[in-house]
């Protein structure tokens, strides 16, 4: 093992591997390793340049693990504020916060000593295996596990676990699964796996294991802090923060599957105006186009979109349209995009990546020319008509089959970079729209580390309309926030509904709406059955042949539901100044709007284990009702005083209380 102090960075070379550890902002380190002799220069999520940090590097005779100097061997230490990295003579990496061990590589190799790691298992903390015939490696990085540690963040996985300790997570993007590989530890550190490769992470009881199926280098970022807020600030210092969120979008967004004509859209908006409901944005969903990849309105059903937009704007309502990355072979854009190499390539078999309502290949947004082509088309056909924003659906991308090894982008194999696809897709729009000097707010179904800086509201995907799925969305939103993504939302009531007349669904809808009022974006959407509405016509293109779901406006579910949703809509409007302050915090220090209990109360051990209640900012403790026919629930109150919003009663903290939760009330406590 050879060590070198390279201008305050620690460089270690051994057996063909180059390891580099350097400061990446205060109390933070970036760690890279390669077997190729030189680093790629890719920053991936680490796009920002944090404030300079002063480091010390010491290279000394090795003593670690044996208690005396080992002749001819060295070890090295790099210190940056509160974090210290040590590399022993065998190349094993350890990290310390304020002198206390927080993370160490898993190493079970016999090294000629009696050290703790000296075993005959031949397992190293960094394992490289060359992919035959290519320049990439499969990479396996292991760390020792503290069984008492809790892990949060990591994006969005459709499961009940808020604490990811003990979980196995696929590092891949799917519809409703969002891989944002930043882990926040209860031991006081944050860890970003800065690699968009498809892979897996296991937060095991015996060890933690990160796997990249195809990579040219190892790259991760580790930071320490006194509180989760400190850690998230350091992380977003390095990866970027959300921008300014317009006040004009903090109210109600209206959407359904799907408005088929411009007259349907205008009829709904006019009704909202008559009802005296401020409608901030209305969403025009899929198949308003002739074919996927045309990226324009079908003139048969949308004869004058400019006039439609002008009328909506006169009501104070913005307009957002759905854009898919799939291009049908029948599309007017398929042939020119194919000839210019702007679509995803398949490694084997037919050139098809998506098969919903057409034979499609999806765009390659890693190619700058693809981004230019898509933007110029959408600008001409939407943006220049006054359309305000874009709903970037299917942005994982939603492959017909998630065989990542069969796809290739201009940036390389999908196995190497596919997790960054949604971010690059969003940048086709953000990078151009931001030039207008206005805040950019687009809706997108997926994200990766750093996506928060590209004007993305992420929603949780096509989830079922069940109480079980509703409960899952609570932890999804909380962990997305801890992964640095503060602009997040769900389909109120879930996406997939068989029967809107089912009383159980209507109860779910109300409980979900109540939750959504105390979340970043209040957005009505869903595919509502029964599917007994006839198509507009029997043609094979445009929106005519595609079905639509039942009405999904606030008044669509009967007077009782409408009364409750109007009540909560008014609550939302009454909080707009407060909600604005939360968005401002997100853009200032990376704090999410939807916060785990321990984010606000890090010294309360009970708060670290609560999964069914949360803080909406620092002021409101929210206890969603997560079960059918549940009309009371237990709520844990941390230290301090708080007021129950239904009665005004003041409660002391440090205890669990049971409060009433009739159908028209979700328990919320306000800190006083």
CATH of the domain at 610: 2.60.40.1180
Q: CB-based contacts of 370: which residues, under 8 Å, 6+ apart?
A: 337, 342, 343, 363, 364, 410, 428
Percent of the chain clearing pLDDT 70 (strictly above):
98
Whole-Å CA distances, 237 to 51, 432, 588: 9, 24, 10
Q: Tell me the C-alpha distance between 3 and 1, whole Å.
A: 7
Interval 555-601: pLDDT, tens: 999 999 999 999 999 999 999 999 999 999 999 999 999 999 999 99
Question: Does residue 69 surpass a pLDDT of 80?
Answer: no
Question: Does residue 118 surpass a pLDDT of 80?
Answer: no
Query: HSE of 263 in the Cβ direction (CA atoms, 13 Å)?
Result: 4
Q: What share of the chain is helix, strand, coil (3-state, %, to 5)?
A: 25, 30, 45
What average pLDDT does this structure show over 34-42?
Answer: 96
Is position 603 within any domain?
Answer: yes
Are the C-beta atoms of residues 253 and 278 closer than 8 Å to each other? no
Is position 666 within any domain?
Answer: yes
Whole-Å CA distances, 65 to 69, 74, 118, 489: 10, 13, 9, 49
Q: How far is CA 397 from the centre of its chain?
A: 14
Q: CB-based contacts of 82: which residues, under 8 Å, 6+ apart?
A: 27, 97, 98, 224, 225
Interval 492-522: pLDDT, tens: 999 999 999 999 999 999 999 999 999 999 9
Question: Does residue 467 surpass a pLDDT of 70?
Answer: yes
Interval 325-362: pLDDT, tens: 999 999 999 999 999 999 999 999 999 999 999 999 99
Q: Tell me the C-alpha distance between 350 and 348, whole Å.
A: 7
Question: Does residue 64 surpass a pLDDT of 60?
Answer: no
Is position 561 within any domain?
Answer: no
Catalytic residue among 237, 294, 396, 398: 396
Are the C-beta atoms of residues 419 and 178 closer than 8 Å to each other? no
Are the C-beta atoms of residues 194 and 419 closer than 8 Å to each other? no
Final residue belonging to a domain, choices 190, 224, 239: 239
Q: Is the bond preceding 530 in cis, omega lying within 30 degrees of 0?
A: yes
Instruction: Tell me the torsion sign for CA atoms 119, 125, 126, 130.
Output: positive
Is position 600 within any domain?
Answer: yes
Final residue belonging to a domain, choices 210, 239, 268: 239
E strand residue ranges, 163-216: 168-171, 178-185, 189-193, 199-203, 207-215
Q: Quick one: pLDDT at residue 145?
A: 97
Q: Tell me the C-alpha distance between 254 and 65, whole Å.
A: 62
Nearest to residue 499, comparing CAs of 524, 545, 532, 534? 532
User: Would you call 393 a catalytic residue per the annotation?
Assistant: yes
Catalytic residue among 462, 472, 491, 527: 462
Dig out the tokens for 411 from the structure: 């940036």
What average pLDDT does this structure show over 613-631?
Answer: 98
Q: Residue 13: give the domain boundaries.
A: 2-239
User: Would you call 396 a catalytic residue per the annotation?
Assistant: yes
CB neighbours (10 Å) of residue 168? Answer: 11
Helices (H) then strands (E): counts for the chain = 12, 41
CB neighbours (10 Å) of residue 458? Answer: 30
Q: Tell me the C-alpha distance between 45 and 181, whole Å.
A: 10
What confidence tier does 50 reach under pLDDT thresholds 50, 70, 90?
confident
What confidence tier does 177 reach under pLDDT thresholds 50, 70, 90?
very high
Catalytic residue among 393, 432, 527, 553: 393
Q: Is the bond preceding 284 in cis, omega lying within 30 degrees of 0?
A: no
Q: Quick one: pLDDT at residue 72?
A: 78
Q: Tell me the C-alpha distance between 284 and 390, whole Å.
A: 9
Q: Give phi and psi for 228, each to the nearest 5.
A: -55, -35
What average pLDDT does this structure show over 515-533?
Answer: 97
Interval 78-117: pLDDT, tens: 999 999 999 999 999 999 999 999 999 999 987 765 456 6
Q: Which residues of 576-613 are buried (b: 16+ CB within 10 A; e: fewer)?
A: eeebeebbebbbeebbbbbbbbbbbbbebeebbebebb
Q: Quick one: pLDDT at residue 544?
A: 86
Interval 207-240: pLDDT, tens: 999 999 999 999 999 999 999 999 999 999 999 9
Is position 150 within any domain?
Answer: yes
Q: Quick one: pLDDT at residue 2?
A: 95
Final residue belonging to a domain, choices 195, 215, 239: 239
Query: HSE of 296 in the Cβ direction (CA atoms, 13 Å)?
Result: 16
Q: Tell me the C-alpha distance between 323 and 330, whole Å.
A: 17
Q: Tell me the C-alpha distance between 491 and 509, whole Å.
A: 10
Q: CB-based contacts of 174: which residues, under 8 Å, 6+ apart?
A: 396, 398, 402
Q: Quick one: pLDDT at residue 65?
A: 54
Percent of the chain clearing pLDDT 90 (strictly above):
93
Are the C-beta atoms of residues 341 and 327 closer than 8 Å to each other? no
Nearest to residue 520, comparing CAs of 441, 432, 434, 612? 441
Residue 278, burial from CB neighbour count under 10 angstroms (0-12, 13-18, 19+):
middle
Q: Quick one: pLDDT at residue 542?
A: 85
Containing 155, the helix (H) or strand (E) segment is strand 151-156
Task: Report the CATH number at residue 63.
Answer: 2.60.40.1760
Are the C-beta atoms of residues 371 and 427 closer than 8 Å to each other? yes
User: Would you call 170 a catalytic residue per the annotation?
Assistant: no
Q: Give phi and psi for 309, each to the nearest 5.
A: -65, -40
Question: Does residue 267 surpass a pLDDT of 80?
Answer: yes
Is position 471 within any domain?
Answer: no
126-130 and 151-156 strand pairing: unpaired
Is position 628 within any domain?
Answer: yes
Nearest to residue 237, comparing CAs of 196, 173, 198, 182? 182
Length of the chain: 672
pLDDT: which is higher, 67 or 414: 414
Q: Tell me the C-alpha distance between 341 and 364, whole Å.
A: 9
Q: Is the pTM of this model over 0.85?
A: yes
Nearest to residue 226, comparing CAs of 280, 278, 190, 279? 190
Dig out the tokens for 47 from the structure: 């796009």
Is position 563 within any domain?
Answer: no
Q: Tell me the C-alpha distance between 194 and 126, whole Å.
A: 15
Q: Quick one: pLDDT at residue 112?
A: 62
Nearest to residue 86, comparing CAs of 67, 101, 66? 101
407-409 and 360-362 strand pairing: unpaired
Q: What angle do helix axes 262-275 and 305-314 make, rounded to 10 degrees? A: 10
Dig out the tokens for 97 from the structure: 């916060």
Beta bridge pairs of residue 56: 79
Number of domains in the chain: 2
Dig out the tokens for 43 from the structure: 């920053």
Residue 386, burial from CB neighbour count under 10 angstroms (0-12, 13-18, 19+):
middle
């Amino acid at each position: 093992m050879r060590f070198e102090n390279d201008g305050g960075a620690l460089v270690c070379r051994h057996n063909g591997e180059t390891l580099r550890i350097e400061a990446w902002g205060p109390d933070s380190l970036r760690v890279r390793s390669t077997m190729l002799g030189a680093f790629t220069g890719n920053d991936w999520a680490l796009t920002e340049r944090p404030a300079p940090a002063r480091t010390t590097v010491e290279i000394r005779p090795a003593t670690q693990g044996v208690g005396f100097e080992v002749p001819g061997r060295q070890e090295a230490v790099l210190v940056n504020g509160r974090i210290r990295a040590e590399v022993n003579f065998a190349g094993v990496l350890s990290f310390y916060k304020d002198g206390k061990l927080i993370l160490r590589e898993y190493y079970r190799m016999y090294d000629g000593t009696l050290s703790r790691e000296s075993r005959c298992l031949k397992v190293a903390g960094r394992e490289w295996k060359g992919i035959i015939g290519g320049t990439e490696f499969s990479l396996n990085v292991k760390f020792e596990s503290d069984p008492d540690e809790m892990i949060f963040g990591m994006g969005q996985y459709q499961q009940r676990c808020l604490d990811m300790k003990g979980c196995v997570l696929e590092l891949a993007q799917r519809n409703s699964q969002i891989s944002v590989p930043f882990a926040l530890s209860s031991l006081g550190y944050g860890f970003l796996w800065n690699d968009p490769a498809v892979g897996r992470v296991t937060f095991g009881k015996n060890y933690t294991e990160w796997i990249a199926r195809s990579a040219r280098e190892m790259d991760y970022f580790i930071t320490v802090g006194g509180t989760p807020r400190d850690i998230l600030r350091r992380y977003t210092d390095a990866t970027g923060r959300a921008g300014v969120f317009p006040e004009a979008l903090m109210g109600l967004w209206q959407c359904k599957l799907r408005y088929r004509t411009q007259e349907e859209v205008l009829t709904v908006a006019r009704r909202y105006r008559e009802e005296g409901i401020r409608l901030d944005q209305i969403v025009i969903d899929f198949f308003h186009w002739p074919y996927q990849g045309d990226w324009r309105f079908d003139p048969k059903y949308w004869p004058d979109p400019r006039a439609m937009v002008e009328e909506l704007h006169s009501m104070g309502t913005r307009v957002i349209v759905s854009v898919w990355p799939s291009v049908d072979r029948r599309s007017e854009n398929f042939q020119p995009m194919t000839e210019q190499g702007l679509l995803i390539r398949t490694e084997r078999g037919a050139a098809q990546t998506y098969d919903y309502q057409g034979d499609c290949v999806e765009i390659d947004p890693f190619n700058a020319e693809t981004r230019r082509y898509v933007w110029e088309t959408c600008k001409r056909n939407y943006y220049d008509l006054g359309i305000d924003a874009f709903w970037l659906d299917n942005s994982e991308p939603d492959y017909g089959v998630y065989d990542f090894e069969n796809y290739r982008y201009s940036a390389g194999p999908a196995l190497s970079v596919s997790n960054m696809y949604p971010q690059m897709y969003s940048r086709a729009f953000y990078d151009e729209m931001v030039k207008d000097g206005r805040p950019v707010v687009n809706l997108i179904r997926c994200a990766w580390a750093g996506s928060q800086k590209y004007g993305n509201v992420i929603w949780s995907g096509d989830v079922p309309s069940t109480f079980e799925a509703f409960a899952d969305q609570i932890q999804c939103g909380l962990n997305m926030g801890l992964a640095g993504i503060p602009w997040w939302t769900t389909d109120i009531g879930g996406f997939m509904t068989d029967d809107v007349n089912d009383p159980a669904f209507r109860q779910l809808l109300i409980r979900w709406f109540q939750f959504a009022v105390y979340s970043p974006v209040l957005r009505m959407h869903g595919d509502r059955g029964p599917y007994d509405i006839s198509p507009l016509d029997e043609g094979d293109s445009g929106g005519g042949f595609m079905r639509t779901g039942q009405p999904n406006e606030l008044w669509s579910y009967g007077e009782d539901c409408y009364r409750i949703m109007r009540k909560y809509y008014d609550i939302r409007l009454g909080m707009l100044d407060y909600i604005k302050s939360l968005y401002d915090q997100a853009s200032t220090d990376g704090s999410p709007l939807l916060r785990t209990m321990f984010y606000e109360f890090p010294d309360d051990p009970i708060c670290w284990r609560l999964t069914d209640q949360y803080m909406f900012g620092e002021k409101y403790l929210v206890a969603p009702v997560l079960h059918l026919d549940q009309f009371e629930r237990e709520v844990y109150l941390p230290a301090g005083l708080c007021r129950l919003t239904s009665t005004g009663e003041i409660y002391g903290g440090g205890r669990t209380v049971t409060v009433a939760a009739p159908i028209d009330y979700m328990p919320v406590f306000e800190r006083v």
